[in-house]
Structure 1
Amino acid sequence: MFNNGKETKRDQVELSNASTQIMKGTTVEGNIETFGNVRIEGKIIGNIKSKSKIALGDSSFVQGNIISQNAEIAGEVKGIVEVSDVLTLKATANVKGDIITGKLIVESGAVWNGTIKMGTAPKDIKLSENGHGQLEEQKESVK
Structure 2
Amino acid sequence: MLGKSKKASSSEDARTNVNTIIGEGAVFDGNLSAPETIRIDGIINGNCTCEKKLILGANGQIKGNIYAQDLVISGKVDGDISATGKLELLSTGKINGNIIARSLVIDENASFDGRCTMAVSLPDHASNDNPATEEKTDEKTNEKETSEREHRKH
**TM-score band, normalised by the shorter chain?**
0.7 to 0.9
Cα separation, 1, equivalents of 2:20 and 2:97: 24
Cα separation, 2, equivalents of 1:72 and 1:44: 16
Q: Give the percent of matched residue pairs that are identical in Structure 1 and Structure 2.
A: 29
- 1:34 deviates by 1.5
Gaps of 5+ in 2: 1-16, 130-154
TM-score (norm. length: structure 1): 0.73
Aligned-partner SS, 1:95: strand
Which residue of structure 1 lines up, in the alignment, with residue 72 of structure 2? 72
- 1:90 deviates by 0.3
Q: Deviations over 1:67-104 (max 9, x none)?
A: 00000000000000110110000000010000110000
Cα separation, 1, equivalents of 2:74 and 2:124: 23
Aligned residues: 115
Cα separation, 2, equivalents of 1:50 and 1:125: 13
- 1:121 deviates by 2.3
Aligned-partner SS, 2:68: strand
Cα separation, 2, equivalents of 1:93 and 1:28: 20
Instruction: Answer whether contact 2:42 2:59 (CA < 8 A) is retained.
Output: yes
Aligned-partner SS, 1:91: coil
Cα separation, 2, equivalents of 1:105 and 1:79: 18
Gaps of 5+ in 1: 1-16, 127-131, 136-143
Cα separation, 1, equivalents of 2:41 and 2:127: 24
Which residue of structure 1 lines up, in the alignment, with residue 55 of structure 2? 55
TM-score (norm. length: structure 2): 0.68
Residue identity matched to 2:121: P
Runs of 4+ in 1 over 6 A off after TM superposition: none
Cα separation, 1, equivalents of 2:47 and 2:63: 8
1:85–1:97 Cα change, 3 Å: same
Q: Deviations over 1:37-68 (max 9, x none)?
A: 11000000000001100000000011000000
Which residue of structure 1 lines up, in the alignment, with residue 100 of structure 2? 100
Structure 1 or 2: more strand by fraction: 1
Cα separation, 2, equivalents of 1:33 and 1:116: 24
Cα separation, 2, equivalents of 1:38 and 1:48: 10
User: What's the Cα RMSD here?
Assistant: 2.3
Structure 1 or 2: more helix by fraction: 2
Which residue of structure 2 lines up, in the alignment, with residue 13 of structure 1? none
Instruction: Answer whether contact 1:86 1:104 (CA < 8 A) is retained.
Output: yes
